[in-house]
Amino acid sequence: MASKKVSSSIIKLSFFFLLPLLPLFSSLSVADNNETTTTPIPPETICESTPHPSYCKNILPKQPGHVQDYGRFSVEKSFIQSHKFLNLVNVHLQRRSTLSKTTIAALEDCKFLAEQNIDYLSTSKQTVTEATLSSWKADDVQTYLSAIITNQETCLDGLTNTASDSTIKNAIGVPLSDDTKLHSVSLALFTKGWVHEKKNKTIWDFTGKHLCFKNGQLPLKMSNRSRAIYDSARGRRKLREDDEESVLISDIVVVSKDGSGNFTTINDAVGAAPNNPAADAGYFLIYITEGVYEEYVNIATNKINLMIIGDGINRTIITGNHSVDDGFTTFNSPTFAVTAPGFVAVNITFRNTAGPAKHQAVAMRSGADNSTFYSCSFEGYQDTLYTHSLRQFYRECDIYGTIDFIFGNAAVVLQKCNIYPRLPLPGQFNPITAQGRTDPNQNTGTSIHNCTVRAADDLAPSIGTVKTYLGRPWKQYSRTIFMQSFLDSLIDPAGWSEWSGDFALSTLYYGEYENSGPGSNTTGRVTWAGYHVINATDAANFTVSNFLQGNGWLPQTGVPYVRGLIAFNKKGKVIDTGN
């Protein structure tokens, strides 16, 4: 990830320019908070509840208003500033003949991320016109506003650690920093004005029944033509088709290196997928037959509800070797990257072969909302799996790496996965996670639930000489939970490692709940203010149901999942998780 090798003017708009927004300032109900809806609040009062009170007071209108009024004003201002920032990046990119390759790469990342921010803010500012929101809608907007701050941080990391032109760093960095404060204020005001107070239930999964793969196969509901193509390509018996337990498929194409399918490359198949299909159209399925595919794949945002299925881990392999040492930004080093909402990947290995000496080298980067990975393998060394932003779920996956090999700032749950730390370079140690939350109002974090952490084959002989930790705080409000997982003896008794001195040790949130195995003993753990041995009530906040709102989008994927905490009998055996 960016900043591994080191420890880790806003243009003021006239208030009168924004006067058309000020039907804003009307008495509106406030969702589940203590703000009154009858008495206007001075801006200096409301700003004290944001991470940047002084900045907040400078940008808000001076007359008293209500929390939602201020929230709408701030979101609109964020939208306008995002356009201005994109224009600024484009101005510098027009000078690309005078810029270094690494500076251009960092600016291209910033451009892409700024365009994403505009899309997220466009949706958000429409939603906040409503006085009350369902918990689902509120979670959507909080997720988008959280991702905007993550995008800002990613842009800054790329400029700081990759761009070689100090003039560009200063010209972009100053407005980038100010805009990040603005977006933080918008998130804080939205959270205060619309986000429902968390009233999560401690759900125990006894007999939860979930739409899932049957005997290793997915029950697909598709046309006769698509069914014939799929059955023929897989060379297997027909899959049962049950309307109540089927994943809807709109169309299917086959990728095969020998030319027997529709395409010989994955990128060509992705290009054939429809842009922005109807929400109820079903998945466009790309079946990738066994083989090693040496290509870099980037699934754009408009390829909504794309599903890719391979022939299995280590049978269908997508591989590349881009790395930061070879001139790529961390963000742009992945072998496979996806930003398309509703993406599903099954039975595939994603690999980056750059090796430990090349430092940051990503196998998979997901910034796709409601993305799902089932029975996949992610193989690399430093920075293998980049869970960049938005909401993600991983089930029965294998993840291999060395330094910070699960990192990013999504709201992500890894469930029933195998995590394999590998042998790093001499003198290095293995922090498994490096979670990148930078704002206390971001609804992000890494939840590792019912997983197994064991040494990879190359590390096993060095247990005791190579230290392995559950994680370290990449950013100020880093948040990671290990719960109901098996931790083998490779985990250092301290459990967690510092990033640099006392950075983030009081603001991070690291939790452990009901783990097992020789590395799970918490008596020798760190004593940081932000570290906690948590109870079931706290752990429930980080389950699929509560943390991802997963019951609203996972069933349609066909992927099995456990909604809540796992129930054990008196002998420590799982009672029934519905699988």
For the annotated catalytic residues, the residue numbers are 404
Residue type, 282: G
Distant-in-sequence, close-in-space partners of 289: CB < 8 Å, separation ≥ 6: 233, 254, 255, 256, 257, 260, 261, 310, 311, 316
Angstrom distances, CA of residue 529 to CA of 446, 475, 520: 19, 16, 19
Distance CA 301, CA 303 (A): 6
557 by DSSP, 3-state: which? Answer: helix
**Dihedrals φ, ψ of 431, to 5°?**
-90, 125
101 by DSSP, 3-state: which? Answer: helix
Q: Read out DSSP for 324-348?
A: GGGT--STT--SEEE--TT-EEES-
Token reading at 189:
């005001």
Beta bridge partners of 509: 479
Report the half-sphere exposure of 243 (CA within 13 A, side-chain side): 0
Angstrom distances, CA of residue 196 to CA of 4, 134, 172, 373: 36, 8, 36, 29
Which runs of E-coded beta strand occur in 353-467? 364-366, 371-374, 377-379, 385-387, 391-395, 398-401, 406-408, 411-415, 418-421, 430-435, 445-449, 452-453
Distance CA 424, CA 351 (A): 17
Place of tokens 């699988």: 579
Q: Read out DSSP for 24-58?
A: SSS----SSSS--SSS-B-HHHHHTTSS-HHHHHH
User: Are residues 109 and 329 in contact, defined by beta-carbon separation less than 8 angstroms?
Assistant: yes
Residue type, 221: K
Continuous H helices in 194-255: 224-234
In the DSSP assignment, the letter for residue 179 is H
User: Are residues 330 and 1 in contact, defined by beta-carbon separation less than 8 angstroms?
Assistant: yes
Torsion from C-alpha of 51, 55, 58, 63, nearest 10 degrees = 0
Distant-in-sequence, close-in-space partners of 433: CB < 8 Å, separation ≥ 6: 404, 406, 407, 446, 448, 470, 471, 472, 480
Q: Read out DSSP for 1-16?
A: -TT-SS-----PPPGG
Longest dimension (CA), the chain: 71
